[in-house]
Structure 1
Amino acid sequence: MESHVISYLESQRRGAQWELFLRSLAVSLQNWAPSDTLRKLMRDAGVHTGQDLVLPTCETLIDLEAAANEHWTRMGWGFVKIQEQHDCISITHDYAPLEAVFGREAMEWVGSFLEGIYQQWFVFLGAGDGLQVKQVGVSDTGALNYKFGR
């Protein structure tokens, strides 16, 4: 395992005060609404959170990644890698506490929260309506994968 990953994991001490509540809430939400509705709800919550987590001026993807990781480190929400691809920008978010708190079953929809945050940040940086952040999967290690593009 890479040293920055080990350092990050050692720095995290999660309190249990919200875990029971949030896991129970996730189960209730899944019982009350279909996954598509929950994805929209979480994306909307993410957009609002992205408005609250203000970014500095970012000239490059490296600047954006550094600014995002400042927020994530402060909050204990893992870290992100943002890379330009030939047809999109890939966003890989490692060690977000979503699965640990909401449970594996909720990963179908709860990752839309980060989708909304990243979308709002790209809008803040000047992205037009034609460019969207979309979750494209969860890796075997639990990393949430997104792409930003058309």
Structure 2
Amino acid sequence: MTDPLSANDNYFATRHCHPQWRLVLSALFDKLLQSVPQAEARLFLHQVGANLALDLPLGAQDTLDTLQAAINKRWAELDWGFVTLTSTEQYLEIRHHHCPVPYHQGRVSDAAKQSLAMMLEGVYSSWLMAQGGEPDVQAQCVSQNDDVVLHYGKQNQDA
């Protein structure tokens, strides 16, 4: 029988989200997303992310490379994976690799992954605003597959 976890999933299941927290966080995120409208959950999780960004300041960064290095230093301190930043004409792509998503009974918690993506929207929005970004521009999650992918740019605000 084939292992139901991909190599990436196996990394998450064995390395990230300490076992003592897996069930608790899965239950917390499940209940949060079931109990309140998504807009309220997103607002709450954005604020959690913004608070995390305040606790993990990056300092002023002059280039995309130094910004990426500063962010990765912060994520390494927490064992929260790493990020790659790619500038396009329309937006800044933020690709967060190896976000510590809780697993329960060998499966990723979809509610936890969705909740962590909302929280990362708040973290990256706050960090980018501190780098000189505009307050009305927010990072928006566009994919939560193996990586959490966010776009940061004005065109995203119409969606």
TM norm structure 1 = 0.83
Structure 2: give runs of 5+ residues left out of the alignment. 1-7, 155-159
* Distance in structure 2 (CA, Å) of the matches to 1:147 and 1:50: 17
Structure 1: give runs of 5+ residues left out of the alignment. 1-5
Match of 1:22 among 25, 28, 48: 25
Q: Which moved more, 1:59-68 or 1:98-107?
A: 98-107
* Alignment correspondent of 1:93: 96
Does residue 1:64 correspond to 2:67, yes or no? Answer: yes
Does residue 1:126 correspond to 2:132, yes or no? Answer: yes
* Alignment correspondent of 1:143: 147
Q: Which moved more, 1:54-63 or 1:22-31?
A: 22-31
% same residue: 26
* Alignment correspondent of 2:84: 81
SS in structure 2 of the partner of residue 98 of structure 1: coil
- Aligned AA for 1:148? Y
* Distance in structure 1 (CA, Å) of the matches to 2:138 and 2:33: 25
* Distance in structure 2 (CA, Å) of the matches to 1:109 and 1:74: 21
Q: 1:127, CA displacement in angstroms?
A: 1.0
* Alignment correspondent of 1:3: none
Moved over 4 A (4+): none
* Alignment correspondent of 2:5: none
* Distance in structure 2 (CA, Å) of the matches to 1:123 and 1:24: 32
- TM-aligned CA distance change 1:28 to 1:123, over 3 Å: same
Instruction: Report how many aligned residue pairs link the two structures.
Output: 141
Q: 1:130, CA displacement in angstroms?
A: 3.7
TM norm structure 2 = 0.78
